[in-house]
Amino acid sequence: MNDVTGPMTREALMLLATTAGPVIGLLLVIGLVVGVFQAATQINDPAVGFLPRLAAALAAVWFLGGWLLERYSNFFASSVERMSQR
């Protein structure tokens, strides 16, 4: 890797981790709650497990969408600027 791609790759992976973390964390919590609910009620319908996680993912992207878009667009702009300087 040359001087630019090493730090850019590291920065991209950190960006991915920090932006995906809240969504994945929310999905893990919802999955745990649904699992406990299914174990307590002995309802094993796949829709009971899938629909709450889908709704939580859509809600997370809806509420965090502006922040996610800002972070990704700033990274893209700085990456293009750094690549054009080479």
Give residue-wise pLDDT tens across range 10-53: 999 999 999 999 999 999 999 999 999 988 998 888 888 899 99
> Rounded distance, CA 27 to CA 56, Å?
7
pLDDT of residue 46: 83
Whether 54 is in a domain gets the answer yes
Residue 24 falls inside a structural domain = yes
Q: What pLDDT, on the 0 to 100 scale, is given for residue 43?
A: 85
- 49 lies in which domain range? 17-85
pLDDT at 6 exceeding the cut of 90: no
Position 2 in a domain: no
pTM of the model: 0.76
Residue 4 confidence (pLDDT) above 80: no
34 alpha-carbon distance from chain centroid: 20
pLDDT at 48: 84
The pair of three-digit structure tokens given for residue 81, joined into one six-digit string: 């600027």
Residue 73 belongs to some domain of the structure: yes
Token pair 């919590």 is found at: 29
Asked if the structure places residue 79 within a domain, the reply is yes
Query: How many domains are contained in the chain?
Result: 1
Q: Does 8 map to a domain?
A: no
pLDDT in the model for residue 2 = 56
Answer whether 15's CB lies under 8 Å from 72's CB. Answer: yes
Nearest one of 59, 56, 64 to 30, comparing CA atoms: 56
